[in-house]
């Protein structure tokens, strides 16, 4: 039993003698770090467009972003809306690129000639 206690004390002395001790200068040193999250700008709210009172006499664009296997749906939607709302002009257009790619020419056309948009971006 006395041998075990003596061995434990020797091991404790050896471990504490090899443990590095901070220098006094290291305790006084200050480091400056940057927040990795950064500072986010405030969120700007953009209100939704006002609702049309009626579709009669209006021009509505149906935009296909060419999401995989949605062309049949968009074409069927175009046909059904033409039958259901015959006094509305329905224009089916393909958007350049996917829904994330800007298409300024299409947006200019819609702003100049259209009253509303149905944009299919996938399922």
Three-state SS at 109:
helix
Phi-psi region of 99 (alpha: psi -120 to 50; beta: other; left: phi over 0): alpha
Q: In which residue are the tokens 């299409």 written?
A: 106
The answer to pTM > 0.85 is no
Which carries the bigger pLDDT value, residue 40 or residue 18? 40
Q: Is the dihedral of CA 51, 55, 59, 61 positive or negative?
A: positive
Per DSSP, 87 falls in state T
pLDDT band, residue 123 (cuts 50/70/90): low
For 25-77, write each residue's pLDDT tens digit: 656 788 888 888 878 889 999 998 889 999 999 999 999 988 888 889 999 99
Residue 48 backbone zone (phi > 0: left; psi -120 to 50: alpha; other: beta):
beta
| Residue 119 predicted with pLDDT over 80 | yes
pLDDT in tens, 70-95: 889 999 999 999 999 999 999 999 99
The answer to whether 87 touches 30, Cβ cutoff 8 Å, is no
pLDDT score at 67: 86
């Amino acid at each position: 039993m006395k041998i075990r206690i003596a061995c434990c004390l020797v091991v404790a002395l050896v471990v504490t003698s090899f443990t590095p001790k901070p220098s006094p200068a290291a305790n006084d040193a200050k480091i400056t770090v940057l927040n990795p999250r950064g500072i986010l700008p405030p969120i700007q709210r953009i209100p939704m467009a006002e609702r049309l009172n009626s579709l009669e006499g209006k021009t509505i664009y149906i935009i296909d972003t060419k999401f995989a296997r949605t062309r049949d749906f968009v074409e069927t939607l175009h046909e059904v809306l033409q039958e259901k709302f015959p006094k509305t002009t329905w224009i089916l257009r393909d958007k350049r690129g996917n829904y994330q790619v800007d298409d300024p020419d299409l947006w200019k056309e819609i702003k100049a000639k259209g009253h509303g948009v149905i944009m299919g971006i996938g399922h």
